[in-house]
Structure 1
Amino acid sequence: MTDTNNSGDVPSAGTSTSLAAANETEKVSSELYDLIGIKGKTSNTGPGVSECSGKDPEKYFQIFHPWSFTPASADQLGGVMERLKEELPKHGWKVVEYGLDTSKSKNLNLTADNDKKKHSVNIVEMAKIDPPSLSLMVVSGCYQVPDGEKVERF
């Protein structure tokens, strides 16, 4: 996400309650699930709330949503990352990183930002584990709670 005041800062995602922001992040995760384009199972992990670095934790927060996707058949995972690399930009995402990581498994990593939705995603293809899967981490920009509200942590 590139809407930043200082380099390295997380962009503002606007004003929201923690719950409404979490619902929005789950919606982004659902759209990403649809873009994966194959049948499979997802983990049942909900979003969480974290602090915005350098900002008042009583007023500012980010939402993170880690989840995984396991295809119905292991051989279906082949080509999914390449397809995501091509499809994400058609849906407002900018791929900012794509390639093998430095882990022993040399997992394929894709990181993309959606400036309009104020979310980023990191997708790791875990091809060498059994069963093979995708690991996703969706992270929002930095929200500010409405006046008179407090950040709810979950």
Structure 2
Amino acid sequence: MRKPGALALVVPLALAGSAGCGTTDDKPGGVPSAGTSTSAEAADALERVSSDLYDLIGVKGKASDSRAGVTECSDKDPEKYFRVFHPWTFYPASAAELGRAMEQLKEELPKHGWKVVSYGPDTSRNKNMNLVADNDAKKASVKVVEMAKNDPPKLSLTVVSGCYKTPNGTKVEEF
């Protein structure tokens, strides 16, 4: 069993207000139900969403090798309900392609069922471009940060699922 890292504690807080999908369980702005699944199956599904996002980038480069993790759903029984998150990084083959990669995502996401809910620079000194998009059909959200001033330049992506319920007789497997 994989152990949760420090990122497991940081990611849900970072995305709580910015990535939540369109439809919700019972609260406006809340996290939508993603159905019933085991933690492992949900993690595999979310990694496939990340793979689809990689394909939409449409620029040569490579992605970091990271795995999905599990975190709690706010205000729900942590033994029965969970969310999955998958942070990863895209490094374009050349620094000149970074802006094109971000623009490609901005253009392609809506063509593939994603709704761009925010796009623009953040308030950091570097004014990194940020894109947040929701996909109601996939019950997933993505936050993309274009880090042009990093060495090497990169896109930082965090994909987050809706809230899953474990099948009857099972508990959340954390990793």
Q: Is TM more than 0.5 here? A: yes
Aligned-partner Cα distance in 1 for 2:86–2:100: 24
Range moving further from structure 2, 1-10 or 20-29 = 1-10
Residue of structure 1 equivalent to 2:77: 56
Q: 2:36–2:164: 8 Å Cα contact kept in structure 1?
A: yes
Query: TM-score w.r.t. structure 1 length?
Result: 0.98
Deviation, structure 1 residue 38? 1.1
Count of residue pairs the alignment pairs up = 154
- Which ranges in structure 1 are unaligned for 5 or more consecutive residues? none
Aligned-partner Cα distance in 2 for 1:80–1:73: 11
Aligned-partner Cα distance in 2 for 1:99–1:28: 23
Q: How does 1:64-83 map to 2 (within 5 A)?
A: 64-83=85-104
Residue of structure 1 equivalent to 2:36: 15
More helix by share: 2
What is the RMSD computed on CA atoms of the aligned residues? 0.7
Residue of structure 2 equivalent to 1:99: 120
More strand by share: 1
Correspondence 1:44 to 2:93: no
Query: TM-score w.r.t. structure 2 length?
Result: 0.86
Aligned-partner Cα distance in 1 for 2:99–2:50: 21
Amino acid at match of 1:110: L
Residue of structure 2 equivalent to 1:2: 22
Correspondence 1:88 to 2:100: no
Where has structure 1 moved over 3 Å in runs of 4 or more? none
Q: 2:147–2:155: 8 Å Cα contact kept in structure 1?
A: yes
Percent identity of paired positions between Structure 1 and Structure 2: 68
Name the SS of the counterpart of 1:68 in structure 2. strand
